[in-house]
């Protein structure tokens, strides 16, 4: 339309997309609101994701399935009508509304079904989405057949092929929701992602930008653009078919070749479509955002090709797909959507330049700052930065993207208000004689929008990013390599005892497999020592402390330089990560000609080897507890009832938090989901468990599920901070099974709290009981005198673990928590109570006993030792070694208080005790 032209006179080559008013004008709630709603929910999800199941999946699909799919349905119809000029009644607004309501319902069901693991709901949602999109494709074909021959019909053909892709992607997604083996999951994940991103979204984008891109840039369409788009479409289509087929048939070389062909076709399309940007560089937010989105699209496709080429198998490909998803969702999809809508929504209001630009001024606000924060912030997030830095940057990026929503609302309001004013002025007065202004454009008004680029905004955005990085580093300086860094060393007694030579000995030391290599280094007397530490371990964080100087914690692949200074006598350094020194991660420094104490004690007063034989533990390792202290946050021992779902999806986040381990005593615990023990999983034989492990800690962690039988090489591998993996297994046997972190030293990780229970019932279930409780026994190891009296909480004491001297033995992580009024186990006279018991250790056995009670059913490690509900026989204690589990059942004959203990009485006295309060 004339109001969108930026040059005087007609522009016949600008193409029909220059007339966006060919579709529905003004506001239309069903067109404008659902996409905004999905985007707003995606932004909200980034802030509440720790509390929502399947939150990462939801964030991705709120953008792609919700906002982007809705917008594609709306705007491809709009452009089809603009290009083909078919009669209005062929696909009126009422028919379009029915499709959009169908899509909205299917999307909602899908977004509910996956987090709740309700496969029938997922299937129904995917089916409704597919029906809506196929109906949309049928209407596009009808328009093509009814239209007269004309230019740019190839755009609509792109839309038609795209509509065939989404149902395929939806079917693959519904199949993924069933829970599959690692290999099948990786293959279907690739097919699902590519047919949706490159097909449904990609073909729509390439078809639309044929005409929309130069229109947004307010320049002419290239003469070769239409021809190259026609040539590229068959290649795109064949490549997508081959990608899906190659992935499903496990022909990775074929999949790589097909993706390469798609990339070449994309470059061929771009060679004719994108050159207009050279003639008219983007001045407004909309084309700049779309252009950057296209660059991220190419980056995402490159990452997929790289992952396919470098991953050893499909499971590894799926585990490393996270950064690619971030690029495609944030860099490509979210930016593309906000950029395209920033142009389209003001344009469809109608009313002339005054109206359109009144809205566009809002969409362009803070454009430089928003673009800088999103794109530079995303780039920084992809770099190997500490996890806390990545979190702070992610929040900033989300806020920059979320700013589009209020700006869009303000822009639409401004356009509507301007439209009213223009219409009122037209009705009130006619233009002066001889004056011929453009309708709706005041005389002398500028012919184009002011440039969105601002040096001040650029500086402000970069400053905000620098501040975000600084805040992240300040929150966790060790992870950023800024604490305990280097300082000039002194002699072991505070000053050099030998004459300095002025020379320096520099040694390169690698940390790998819980060892330093070399493990012994030699320094001539009088030389200064410099250690160049390289963390060559592929998964685990390490550091080095030597004579008071200390490196930061190094992530895999990182390097630090430790300037020790002149060392006066032989000494020893070690890794300070809990447990690493105890398993032998020590570095001996031998000074040639220096003094040595000669008794195995080095100049720093430390002993050789692992556990220090002279560790001063008191006679009683359990500290004295204040009798008036109470547990502030007891753990609920009630077992959640078994649901109907057969696929169980759960995200377990490894994180380090301060928790109570006894009344008035705290410790820094290493946890799954902020609790120790971790969440109890509950299912049946035959159920599939899909567990996503995310490492938000400061060191490497892993997970091992005893309830599944599979090769541990990949699913149980240690992952570095900031990484994640997906662990899938099918429960084939009933019982109560342990899961735990299996990163070395395993004793420290389990003792710090990284363990939990998986309860698997037979297919037909167990006999019903009135109450079910879960009791996970474990040990707590504290250094003497720590964790009390307002002191900072201590970490697990690895020396105490090796000496097998627990400070507490607990039920469900807190010593004695079920012995207090209001926190006891509860039952009524005559009720059947089932106690599931797991000994998580890592070292102590248990003898589970209820004082005053007798068990008539006892099950341990796959065998009924008694019962079920045996008559005339009974048992008094369930004996379990570490990592063993079972259950007991009993009923209580009369009201009263029945102590629950481990009958290894020293452990009951250390806290492995509780009380069953039985009422009439």
Predicted pLDDT of residue 43: 77
User: How far does CA 832 lie from the centroid of its chain?
Assistant: 42
Helix spans in 66-118 (H): 69-84, 93-113
Half-sphere exposure of 440 (CA within 13 A, CB side): 21
Predicted pLDDT of residue 483: 45
Are the C-beta atoms of residues 75 and 155 closer than 8 Å to each other? no
- pLDDT above 90 covers what percent of the chain? 28
621 has a pLDDT exceeding 90: no
Work out the burial of residue 1: count CB atoms within 10 Å of its CB; fewer than 13 is exposed, 13-18 middle, 19 or more buried. middle
Are the C-beta atoms of residues 693 and 717 closer than 8 Å to each other? no
Predicted pLDDT of residue 548: 76
604 has a pLDDT exceeding 50: no
Q: Write out pLDDT tens, residues 362-405.
A: 888 888 999 999 999 989 888 877 777 877 888 888 888 888 88
CA-based nearest residue to 488, from 472, 470, 500? 500
- Helix (H/G/I), strand (E/B), else coil: 294: helix
Phi, psi of 655 (to 5 degrees): -150, 160
- Helix (H/G/I), strand (E/B), else coil: 34: helix
CB neighbour list of residue 265: distance below 8 Å, 6 or more residues apart: 232, 235, 236, 239
Rg of the chain on CA atoms, in Å: 33
Terminal Cα distance for the chain, rounded: 83
User: How far does CA 275 lie from the centroid of its chain?
Assistant: 37
Number of H-type helices and E-type strands within the chain: 24, 28
pLDDT mean across residues, the chain? 81
The conformation of residue 880, written as its DSSP 8-state character, comes to E
Bridge partners of 826, per DSSP, are: 917
- Helix (H/G/I), strand (E/B), else coil: 99: helix
Are the C-beta atoms of residues 899 and 905 closer than 8 Å to each other? no
Predicted pLDDT of residue 436: 44
Predicted pLDDT of residue 721: 84
Predicted pLDDT of residue 499: 74
- Which region among 588-597, 853-862, 907-916 has the lowest average model confidence (pLDDT)? 588-597
Predicted pLDDT of residue 12: 31
347 has a pLDDT exceeding 90: no
DSSP of 535-548: E--SS--B--EETT
Q: Predicted confidence band at 890 (pLDDT cuts at 50, 70, 90)?
A: very high
CA-based nearest residue to 560, from 489, 491, 490, 478? 478
Q: Could you give the CA distance from residue 329 to residue 300 in angstroms, rounded to a whole number? A: 10
Are the C-beta atoms of residues 889 and 867 closer than 8 Å to each other? yes
Predicted pLDDT of residue 784: 64
Predicted pLDDT of residue 227: 87
Are the C-beta atoms of residues 581 and 765 closer than 8 Å to each other? no
Task: Encode 334-355 in three state secondary structure.
Answer: HHHHHHHHHHHHHHCCCCCHHH
Q: Could you give the CA distance from residue 566 to residue 690 in angstroms, rounded to a whole number? A: 54
Buried b (16+ CB within 10 A) or exposed e, 190-204: bbbbbbbbbbbbbbb
Q: Write out pLDDT tens, residues 227-264.
A: 888 899 999 999 999 999 998 998 888 999 999 999 99
Work out the burial of residue 701: count CB atoms within 10 Å of its CB; fewer than 13 is exposed, 13-18 middle, 19 or more buried. buried
Are the C-beta atoms of residues 354 and 445 closer than 8 Å to each other? yes
Bridge partners of 891, per DSSP, are: 832
CB neighbour list of residue 844: distance below 8 Å, 6 or more residues apart: 777, 779, 806, 809, 882, 904, 907
Higher pLDDT, 493 or 313: 313
> Beta strand pairing status for 832-841 and 846-850?
unpaired
The conformation of residue 501, written as its DSSP 8-state character, comes to -
Q: Write out pLDDT tens, residues 565-597.
A: 888 788 888 888 877 887 778 898 888 875 444
Task: Encode 709-766 in three state secondary structure.
Answer: CCCCCCCCCCECCCCEEEEEEECCCCEEEEEECCCCCHHHHHHCCCEEEEEEECCCCC
The conformation of residue 21, written as its DSSP 8-state character, comes to G
Q: Write out pLDDT tens, residues 193-207.
A: 899 999 999 899 998
Phi, psi of 11 (to 5 degrees): -130, 85
CA-based nearest residue to 836, from 811, 814, 817, 854? 811
Q: Predicted confidence band at 349 (pLDDT cuts at 50, 70, 90)?
A: low
Q: Predicted confidence band at 480 (pLDDT cuts at 50, 70, 90)?
A: low
Predicted pLDDT of residue 147: 79
């Amino acid at each position: 339309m004339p109001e969108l032209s930026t040059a005087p006179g007609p522009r016949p080559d600008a193409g029909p997309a220059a007339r966006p008013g060919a579709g529905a004008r003004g506001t239309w709630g069903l067109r404008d609101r659902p996409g905004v709603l999905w985007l707003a929910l995606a932004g909200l999800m980034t802030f509440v994701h720790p509390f929502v199941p399947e939150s990462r999946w939801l964030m991705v699909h709120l953008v792609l399935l919700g906002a982007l799919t809705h917008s594609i349905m709306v705007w491809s119809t709009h452009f089809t009508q603009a290009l083909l000029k078919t009669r209005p009644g062929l696909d009126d607004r009422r028919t379009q509304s029915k499709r959009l309501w169908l899509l909205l319902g299917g999307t909602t069901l899908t977004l509910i079904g996956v987090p709740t693991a309700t496969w029938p709901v997922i299937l129904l949602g995917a089916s409704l989405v597919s029906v809506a999109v196929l109906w949309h494709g049928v209407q596009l074909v009808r328009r093509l057949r009814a239209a007269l021959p004309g230019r740019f019909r190839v755009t609509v053909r792109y839309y038609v092929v795209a509509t065939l892709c989404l149902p395929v992607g939806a079917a693959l997604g519904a199949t993924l929701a069933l829970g599959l083996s690692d290999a099948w999951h990786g293959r279907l994940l690739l097919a699902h992602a590519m047919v949706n991103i490159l097909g449904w979204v990609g073909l729509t984008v390439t078809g639309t930008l044929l005409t929309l891109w130069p229109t947004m840039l307010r320049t002419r369409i290239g003469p070769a653009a239409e021809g190259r788009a026609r040539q590229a479409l068959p290649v795109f289509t064949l490549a997508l078919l081959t990608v899906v087929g190659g992935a499903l048939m496990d022909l990775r070389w074929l999949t790589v070749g097909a993706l390469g062909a798609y990339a070449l076709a994309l470059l061929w399309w771009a060679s004719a479509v994108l050159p207009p940007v050279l003639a008219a560089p983007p001045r407004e937010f909309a084309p700049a955002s779309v252009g950057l989105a296209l660059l991220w699209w190419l980056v995402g496709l490159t990452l997929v090709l790289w992952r396919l080429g470098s991953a050893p198998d499909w499971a590894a490909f799926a585990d490393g797909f996270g950064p690619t998803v971030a690029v495609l969702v944030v860099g490509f999809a979210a930016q593309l959507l906000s950029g395209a809508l920033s142009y389209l929504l003001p344009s469809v209001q109608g009313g002339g330049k005054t109206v359109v630009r009144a809205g566009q001024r809002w969409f362009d606000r803070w454009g430089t700052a928003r673009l800088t924060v999103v794109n530079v912030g995303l780039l920084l997030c992809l770099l190997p930065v500490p996890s806390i830095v990545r979190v702070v940057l992610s929040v900033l990026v989300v806020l920059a993207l979320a700013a589009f929503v209020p700006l869009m609302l303000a822009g639409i309001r401004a356009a509507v208000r301007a439209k009213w004013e223009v219409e009122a002025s037209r009705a009130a007065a006619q233009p002066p004689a001889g004056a011929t202004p453009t309708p709706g454009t005041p005389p002398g008004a500028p012919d184009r929008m002011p440039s969105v680029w601002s040096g001040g905004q650029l500086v402000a955005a970069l400053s905000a990013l620098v501040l975000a990085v600084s805040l992240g580093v300040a929150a966790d300086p060790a992870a950023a390599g800024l604490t305990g860094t280097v300082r000039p060393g002194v002699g072991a007694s505070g000053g050099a005892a030998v004459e300095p030579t002025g020379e320096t000995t520099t040694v390169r030391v690698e940390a790998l497999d819980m060892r330093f290599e070399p493990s012994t280094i030699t320094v001539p007397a009088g030389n200064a020592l410099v250690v160049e530490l390289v963390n060559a371990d592929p998964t685990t964080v390490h550091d080095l402390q030597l004579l008071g100087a200390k490196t930061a914690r190094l992530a895999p692949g990182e390097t630090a330089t430790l300037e020790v200074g002149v060392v006066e006598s032989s000494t020893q350094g070690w890794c300070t990560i809990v447990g690493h020194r105890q398993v032998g991660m020590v570095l001996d420094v031998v000074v040639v000609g220096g003094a040595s104490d000669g008794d195995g004690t080095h100049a720093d007063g430390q002993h050789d080897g692992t556990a220090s034989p002279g560790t001063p533990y008191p006679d009683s390792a359990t500290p004295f507890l204040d009798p008036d202290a109470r547990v502030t946050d007891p753990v609920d021992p009630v077992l959640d009832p078994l649901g109907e779902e057969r696929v169980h999806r759960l995200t377990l986040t490894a994180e380090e938090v301060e928790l109570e381990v006894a009344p008035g005593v705290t410790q820094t615990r290493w946890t799954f989901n902020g609790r120790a023990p971790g969440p109890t999983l509950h299912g049946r034989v035959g159920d599939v468990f899909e567990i996503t492990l995310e490492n938000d800690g400061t060191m490497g962690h892993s997970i091992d599920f005893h309830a599944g039988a599979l090769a541990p090489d990949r699913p149980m591998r240690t992952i570095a901070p900031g990484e994640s993996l997906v662990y899938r297994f099918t429960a084939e046997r009933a019982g109560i099974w342990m899961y735990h972190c299996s990163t070395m030293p395993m004793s420290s990780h389990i003792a710090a709290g990284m363990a939990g229970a998986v309860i698997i019932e037979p297919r037909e279930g167990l006999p019903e009981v009135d109450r079910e409780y879960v009791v996970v026994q474990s040990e707590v190891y504290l250094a003497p005198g720590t964790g009390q009296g307002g002191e900072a909480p201590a970490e697990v004491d690895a020396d105490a673990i090796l000496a097998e001297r627990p400070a507490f033995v607990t039920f469900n992580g807190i010593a004695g928590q079920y012995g207090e009024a209001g926190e006891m186990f509860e039952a009524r006279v005559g009720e059947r109570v089932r106690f599931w018991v797991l000994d998580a250790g890592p070292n102590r056995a248990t003898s589970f006993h209820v004082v005053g009670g007798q068990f008539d059913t006892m099950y341990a490690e796959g065998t009924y030792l008694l019962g079920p509900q045996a008559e005339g026989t009974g048992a008094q204690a369930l004996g379990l070694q570490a990592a063993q589990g079972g259950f007991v059942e009993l009923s209580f004959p009369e009201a009263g208080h029945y102590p629950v203990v481990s009958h290894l009485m020293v452990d009951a006295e250390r806290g492995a005790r509780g009380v069953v309060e039985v009422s009439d």
